[in-house]
Structure 1
Amino acid sequence: MMIRLGVALLLTAAAVPALAADAERKPFGKLADGSAVEIVSLKNKRGVEARIITYGATLQALIGPDRAGKRADVTLGYDTAEMYEQKPNYFGVTVGRYANRIKGGQFALDGKRYQLTLNDKTNSLHGGTKGFDKRNWRIVSVASGPTAKLVLALTSPDGDQGYPGKADVTVTYTLDEASNLTIAYDLATTKPTIANMTNHALFNLAGEGAAQGTSDHVLTIPAKAYTPVDATLIPAGERRAVAGGVFDFTRPRLIAEGLRDMRDEQIRLGTGYDHNFALDAGLTPTPKLAARLEDPKSGRVLEVLTTEPGVQFYTGNFLDGSVAGKNGHAYRQGDGIALEPQKFPDAPNKPDFASPRVDPGKPYRHVMIYRLTTRK
């Protein structure tokens, strides 16, 4: 009897295929200099798919089902490599060496002052005029299996955009059957430098180009404080309590409730939300929840997890409908929002913020997760 039962169990197990994720590599056009751009698709059996292009190590698409099983791409972006190069808007790109803003593009290390390229009026933004988002990364490996995996690499020379030290950088994308899209950033340097890397996806959980935008999305951020900014969106160094104001997302809240509330000077300065939240957990060895975004109509839920101490909440304030995105859609303010886990903006110049310093032999690492699921 025991033998028959054992055989039956083996036959049943053999009849049910193990869940696995697939990786597929294809061409995705060419850049102006003739270099080829590739796209890699990571897919699981739950209907979630991530598409990554080599230009900018960019998350070109994140596709998932709604509560009825209908799949949609929930990230803003472009359909061609040429548009990513010609009309850069940071859609889904890897930003670095330093995500967000550095005041005056200047910082000091060990008594030496460095000047970065300026591309945001008087500041340096997302790594400067030719940051990591404007490089064609090389594919190191692509693999299917229980977890689908893509590894991309880039070498940034000493002095690149003003940053000291030659940097060897990798970005690793993995997708598992729990619909965790994990992104790991690793950077090793030959000289003391600074690093702060993240992904700049703009999300609309109703589907990119959805007419209602994201104002009816519900957001939660486990942060009791944020860092208010000046007129150039540089933090003053203060941590201001969110309790009771338009920045209070400690409980689920409609984004629309505070998005256009000009009674708060910070909303006026940012022309919406474009602010860093100081996560309650701070720096952690393993990813913890940084934000939860839900579209009640479709049932899609995005959870963002990170090992970093902050998350930048940005409501697409500079989108003006002048450029056609995927499927010919015009993207306007509020049509997509970014939740970017990272060190704080201008941290190299703010001793009270977590230091972004990286030294030889002590590499930088940031692990973040986009978890796309549905709520019935």
Structure 2
Amino acid sequence: MSNNHFQVYSIIFISVIFLACQTKSTNGSGSNLSFIGIDSSKFDSVISDKNVTLYHLVNKNGLTAIFTNYGARIVSLMVPDKESNPTDVVVGFNSINNYTTSSDPYYGATIGRYGNRIAKGKFSIDGIDYQTPINDGLNMLHGGPIGYQGVIWNAEKIDSSTIQFSYLSKDGEMGFPGNLNVKVTYRLRDDALKISYEATTDKKTIINLTNHAYFNLNGEGSGTILNHQLEIFSDQYTPIDSTLIPTGELANVKGTPFDFTKPEIIGKRIDLDNDQLKHGKGYDHNFILKENGDNKHAAHIIGDKSGIVMDVYTDQPGLQFYCGNFMTGKNVFKGGAKDDFRTAFCLETQHFPDSPNHPNFPSTELKAGETMKSESYYKFSIKK
């Protein structure tokens, strides 16, 4: 796509967004988002005596994103494909009821207080034992049955391309110690969606925040993601047991189906006779990012039909690659397609699963009075 072509497209696309997203109140909710299969009236609701609604962001380059304060989650993310067609690369639902009743409650959501799994829901801090609710076989998953995906966040729209969600996670909530004040800020920056996390506590606790967006770079409802091409900038991963808890080993990817150090088609090795793949029913593993510091390049992935490229950057030590192995087809997406097996993937920037129970993993403890800050962003372009 030429620069001139992209500029013309951006102007047209922004005009469409502007007309479609006129607000009906000052909170930033859209009155007509039907052009991406969303009827905003189906999101206006009251849950636990708190208002739930939609919020939209748009930037000068034609990126537009739709959020809800239920779970501080991404509902839609529109980017131009190789033919300049606006493409919704984040799968989701067209009503708040679908999110609250879905067999998978995590679509697009902010995950916490501790993302991923903790073995048997148990951990210790300074000799004190804590027990979180079990909600995934023998283990705790994504903060427990009512993690951050299932609560109503406060929302403040900073400007047309920035929104901040905040939530007070009280001491003892889901078994975690400390009153934790959490802020999640979404920003559309040029050709990227940037997610910033910030948290403070009044008592030592553990924390592992991430976002659980399900992506399909060919667009929601376009079928399997197995022909996407993926590169992960990692030489090691954390093997799991049959309950998807890390064994504690830091294993080399070389010579295994987990070697994405060079671009590979996702589906090429996903069904090989491999114990690790059997445990996860495919890829559902944490990769150890090999770069240090801020904004390290975590992954590069290309939609085979759309030509859309997504690059993931983060300051976190790990990246969970999940291939939709537990998608069941029981839920219906915004455009009417079902959430069939492996029709979306996740690249979740994170600390390692079950870190509190593995001293050799990076620490997830946050002390009273300290501030945890983290940033990840998803940058979009077109395959050249």
TM norm structure 2: 0.88
The match for 1:254 is: 265
CA contact (8 A) 2:47 2:152 kept: no
Identity %: 39
The match for 2:176 is: 163
* Structure 2 residue 303 is the aligned partner of structure 1 residue 295: yes
Where 1:289 maps in the other structure, the secondary structure is: strand
Where 2:335 maps in the other structure, the secondary structure is: helix
* Structure 2 residue 205 is the aligned partner of structure 1 residue 193: yes
Tell me by how many angstroms 1:89 deviates.
3.1
The match for 1:84 is: 99
CA contact (8 A) 2:366 2:372 kept: yes
1-structure distance, mates of 2:263, 2:138 = 36
1-structure distance, mates of 2:110, 2:261 = 27
Which stretch shifts more, 41-50 or 99-108? 41-50
2-structure distance, mates of 1:342, 1:293 = 18
**How is 1:106-145 mapped onto 2 (pairs within 5 angstroms)?**
106-144=122-160
Could you list the per-position Cα deviations for residues 11-64 of structure 1 after superposition, in whole angstroms to 9, with x for gaps in the alignment?
xxxxxx9xx999961163214546321222111232211111100000111111
1-structure distance, mates of 2:314, 2:250 = 20
Tell me by how many angstroms 1:340 deviates.
0.2
The alignment's C-alpha RMSD in Å is 1.7
1-structure distance, mates of 2:197, 2:89 = 23
The aligned amino acid for 1:80 is S
The match for 2:116 is: 100
Where 1:51 maps in the other structure, the secondary structure is: strand
**How is 1:175-324 mapped onto 2 (pairs within 5 angstroms)?**
175-177=188-190, 179-211=191-223, 213-261=224-272, 263-282=273-292, 284=293, 286-324=294-332
The aligned amino acid for 2:143 is G
Could you list the per-position Cα deviations for residues 50-104 of structure 1 after superposition, in whole angstroms to 9, with x for gaps in the alignment?
1111000001111111111011111111111111111143111000000000001
2-structure distance, mates of 1:127, 1:33 = 19
The aligned amino acid for 1:242 is V
Q: How many residues align?
A: 350
CA contact (8 A) 1:31 1:82 kept: no
Structure 1 unaligned blocks of 5 or more: 1-16
CA contact (8 A) 1:30 1:82 kept: no
Tell me by how many angstroms 1:331 deviates.
1.1
CA contact (8 A) 2:105 2:149 kept: no
Where 1:326 maps in the other structure, the secondary structure is: coil
Tell me by how many angstroms 1:258 deviates.
1.3
Could you list the per-position Cα deviations for residues 193-241 of structure 1 after superposition, in whole angstroms to 9, with x for gaps in the alignment?
0000010011100001113x10110001010010000000000000111
**How is 1:53-92 mapped onto 2 (pairs within 5 angstroms)?**
53-87=68-102, 88-92=104-108
Could you list the per-position Cα deviations for residues 134-165 of structure 1 after superposition, in whole angstroms to 9, with x for gaps in the alignment?
01101134313xxx210110001100000000
Where 2:339 maps in the other structure, the secondary structure is: strand
The aligned amino acid for 1:281 is E
Structure 2 unaligned blocks of 5 or more: 1-10, 31-42
The match for 1:3 is: none
1-structure distance, mates of 2:227, 2:46 = 37
1-structure distance, mates of 2:307, 2:360 = 40
Instruction: Extract structure 1 runs of 4+ deviating beyond 3 A.
Output: 20-24, 31-35
CA contact (8 A) 1:167 1:187 kept: yes
The match for 1:47 is: 62
Higher-Rg structure is: 1
2-structure distance, mates of 1:214, 1:327 = 17
Tell me by how many angstroms 1:121 deviates.
1.3
